[in-house]
Amino acid sequence: MALRAIIFDIDGVLADSRAAVVLNTKTLLHEYGINVLDSRVERMSSAHSAESVLISLVPSLEGNEALRKEMLARLSVITAQNLHLVKPTPIASKLPSLSKKYLLAAASNRKSSARMVLEKLGILRHFSAVVTSAEAPVKPDPTMIRLALQRLGVKPQEAVFIGDNKEDRLAGEAAGTKVAIIDGTNEKDWEKFEKEFLS
């Protein structure tokens, strides 16, 4: 079947947000008197939702619903304050031309900040659908990808999901789409994707 849709992960594919995510998480933890190595935060946050990262870094949150909600609310504020640190990857500049040929969607483990990031990068208008972990379980669960397919009105075999990690690959495969794993900051990864999926 011909390719009709491209579904993008946001962080690591369209947005270079690594520094912002580490700073946001460390700022929050510091406010609560918790110190964690940058490398640990970066490693965990590349593939998980903010909530699962916090629970992993602060295991006592697992049974403390009030504190968990308080910390997540505070993290949302910190994230909004530091949106200026999120930069577009080279792939983001491809969206205007891609949106003329394909239906585009974003599927992100972010919650409320997903749309904020896309808006800040000036690319939200190119998406026909945006699905976040506010609506579906985080990847690798395929529900998020399936919701994007449903909203675009396409079959799984008519779409490719572009992610940047193992969880993305598992989600796309389970949803039945073609899958490409790329580093959004690497132009050669994009060239390889174009040859394999868009030629």
What are the tens digits of pLDDT across the range 120-173?
A: 999 999 999 999 999 999 999 999 999 999 999 999 999 999 999 999 999 999
103 in the same domain as 79: no
57 in the same domain as 25: yes
How far is residue 28's CA from residue 121's CA, in Å, rounded to a whole number?
24
Query: By residue range, what is the domain housing residue 22?
Result: 18-84
Q: Is the pLDDT of residue 51 over 80?
A: no
Q: Is the pLDDT of residue 48 over 80?
A: no
26 in the same domain as 10: no
Tally of domains within the chain? 2
Task: Answer with the residue of higher pLDDT: 1 or 117.
Answer: 117
171 in the same domain as 114: yes
101 in the same domain as 10: yes
Return the number of other C-beta atoms located less than 10 Å from residue 96's C-beta. 11
> What is the full DSSP assignment across the chain?
----EEEE-SBTTTEE-HHHHHHHHHHHHHHTT----HHHHHHHHTTS-HHHHHHHH-GGGGG-HHHHHHHHHHHHHHHHHTGGG-EE-GGGGGHHHHHHHSEEEEEES-STHHHHHHHHTT-GGG-SEEEETTTSPPTTSTHHHHHHHHHHT--GGGEEEEESSHHHHHHHHHHT-EEEE--TT-HHHHHHHIIIII-
Return the number of other C-beta atoms located less than 10 Å from residue 26's C-beta. 19
184 in the same domain as 157: yes
CB 49 within 8 A of CB 156: no
What are the tens digits of pLDDT across the range 166-198?
A: 999 999 999 999 999 999 999 999 999 999 999
